[in-house]
Structure 1
């Protein structure tokens, strides 16, 4: 290891001194971890004194008093995205009556879903434990920072889940810059923490061919300025996409038609799913990397599979299962596998390019975990059964509370591990200098 060969501050680099230096390094890192734990406990006590001011629910908050301060794998590495769903009788950590952030079409209990077991599972990685999301600890990490959710309606679904999970500590206030549900901003005043949602279902510039059509013109090489001009200020950016690329589209590059998908246009080449989705993620990542003065961390949240059975979404397809799959009961295949592999490949390219500019990209790989949750969707419980309009079963979005809450478990664990890595690197740098 390189630091073993660096001269000590007060003498020659002897064997004895080298050993002492390693010992000192280990002691300092251990001390930092201990201080972090103490600090988090103090922050937790302070925050608990304030909870009554913000509490809007009858959910117990005793479990918030001692937040986890270390990652789930202090010794060996663990792939937190590989595992199984296991029962969690303590869940949910909020309800549809205690969180106002749940939109009607994800309020499954309100609209008559008869079972409740879909809310009582947690994710268990194969090689470690994944701590349940702790709102106090998350808000302390996010103090003075900002986070943007960029993508389609599952991105908004994620933000709503996070607001509900954080509601045991504090409710945010609306600081939106425009009166549009697709571009909301919320601020947690006690922590000076802002979250925002930017609606961009295709990630690049896109528009309907006409108001009555389901066909979109998608400009594969053009930035969508509704979000690319807005995220420079954010400390964390979570980008996602996928579902909208399963529909009819006309692809443009350099302002010219290069092909289409699921369209019936004469003399236009039909291109498969792979072409459009790859180009789109490449352009979206290029947009982030090209931003001047952007120093934030970018997360790619991977594709979240739908679970239509017994037909397509518009042909009577539904999702009536009431418990998760086991790993050996299903597998990633077809367009789900294609989308996931393309996202991973483009992420690796972007991560490599980002390093050249000092930017960090992190993979929030939720695909496998969500593949195993056919029970987590609203299905027909996102609306009243007597509504006088044509409605389809929703096997794309996620009930709240429910399976989607795991995304915040993943996110917090990644933030903690990244914080530990950054601290270790700083200590090594100090010792080297």
Structure 2
């Protein structure tokens, strides 16, 4: 009896200790939750309030329906269990897979998904795959969309162009996360410098960020080509500066933008070259303006022209001025004494006029992306791209000698496959008399250009290692 009582007493003590331990563990867990939850509240709120696919809107907007098909994704993203993995002698994770025919079992190296600074994955080789989630904003929810990009407002009848995402062949490209991006650029600054396609990109970024935050207009100008926006909660500013030719330019007729421009191909455009030294990131690009009538100067002497009527001036190609402009732009960057950032070159993005030139009835009426084997660059687009890459290689080599980092943001092939993403005739009311009736240069918002910010986040993470970005300039 005494032994039984002793054992029963010990059991009660152990039970009380176990109960106390459980209570203590629960209190610790509760304390941690109450401590951590406030820190992540903005992100949790974003996840809970994350917009659903676009629903029907007012009469002047499209009714967007979600599709039911879903492209094949990496199994970990679909909640499937991966086969058992192990590490090989090189430290790579491998998985055993059944081979075909007599090949038996074989081991395949697993490549991690993108979105975490994975430098081994080629982001630019891939396909556009279906994305039933569609766009995450509309022209009702984002005020930054200009009229000529407002395809939904002006009655574009199809909506499938909103239902695609870029899928690299060997990894996943993370979808743009506005909360993560704003944390990356907290206390920093971002600028786009260039033409209307650069502005198009900036407006896309503002619209994506509008899912969680809205900026204040702190500009000193009412001109849309020189704007500055501030996100006070993050001490983050975003600016745009106009420089479509990258070099110093002058109009031959101040009142008529269609008249030839004078391009001083050996002179810096100080509207951006004098302002980037304090920034940590630069995205530089240029393109469509180089097909306009222009007079070329070097040393303040005429050395040629494009689409000019003078018979005593040597007629040059677009690639002539394009090459010289890039060479001067890199010379400007590499001459900066205190620049400690990184330069991303965004490559030439083609237009998609079919059935004629832009001024001869050409249009872009496709409603689906091309597959990678259905479209190739040719003619002037290919020449512009090759010229740009050649100058990039020279500029990057010189920059490396000076300790300046330069990298490529290669959007050319990615956007070559998106003939369906332009406003076409849906950038204005049908009754409006406009100079360019069919716009196959700019991009609808929302639309494929939103994916540029997926790439932007990934490239910033790759270059920063841990995804901590500083300030950014984009020159187009």
In which range does the TM-score fall when normalised by the shorter chain?
0.7 to 0.9
Q: Would you say 1:113 and 2:156 are equivalent positions?
A: yes
Contact 1:149 1:198 in 2 (8 A): yes
Q: Would you say 1:102 and 2:145 are equivalent positions?
A: yes
Change in CA separation of 1:43 and 1:343 when aligned onto 2, cut-off 3 Å: farther
Correspondence for 1:159 among 202, 206, 212 = 202
CA distance in 2, matches of 1:296, 1:189: 24
User: How does the TM-score come out when normalised to structure 1?
Assistant: 0.81
CA distance in 2, matches of 1:422, 1:309: 40
Higher helix share: 1
Which residue does the alignment assign to 2:79? none
Change in CA separation of 1:83 and 1:49 when aligned onto 2, cut-off 3 Å: closer
Which residue does the alignment assign to 2:28? none
Which residue does the alignment assign to 1:168? 211
Q: Deviations over 1:304-329 (max 9, x none)?
A: 10000111111111100001011111
Mapping 1:282-301, distance limit 5 Å:
282-301=327-346
SS in 2 for 1:413: helix
1:193, distance to aligned residue in structure 2 (A): 1.4
Which residue does the alignment assign to 1:23? none
Which residue does the alignment assign to 1:180? 223
- Runs of at least 5 residues in structure 1 that lack an aligned partner in the other structure: 1-40, 62-68, 424-433
Mapping 1:240-279, distance limit 5 Å:
240-279=285-324
Q: Deviations over 1:188-222 (max 9, x none)?
A: 11111111111111111112222335211111001
Q: Would you say 1:59 and 2:51 are equivalent positions?
A: yes
Correspondence for 1:197 among 223, 240, 247 = 240
SS in 2 for 1:415: helix
User: How does the TM-score come out when normalised to structure 2?
Assistant: 0.74
* Equivalent residue pairs, number: 373
SS in 2 for 1:362: strand
Change in CA separation of 1:249 and 1:189 when aligned onto 2, cut-off 3 Å: same
CA distance in 2, matches of 1:366, 1:358: 25
CA distance in 2, matches of 1:287, 1:156: 22
Contact 2:184 2:467 in 1 (8 A): no
Q: Deviations over 1:102-150 (max 9, x none)?
A: 1111000000101111011000111111111111111111111112212
SS in 2 for 1:332: coil
- Runs of at least 5 residues in structure 2 that lack an aligned partner in the other structure: 1-35, 54-111, 469-476
Mapping 1:216-231, distance limit 5 Å:
216-231=261-276
Which residue does the alignment assign to 2:388? 343
Which protein has the larger Cα radius of gyration, Structure 1 or Structure 2? 2
Which residue does the alignment assign to 2:102? none
Instruction: Name the stretch that deviates more: 123-132 or 381-390.
Output: 381-390
SS in 2 for 1:329: coil
| Cα root mean square deviation, aligned | 2.5
Contact 1:119 1:402 in 2 (8 A): yes
CA distance in 1, matches of 2:210, 2:244: 27
SS in 2 for 1:377: coil
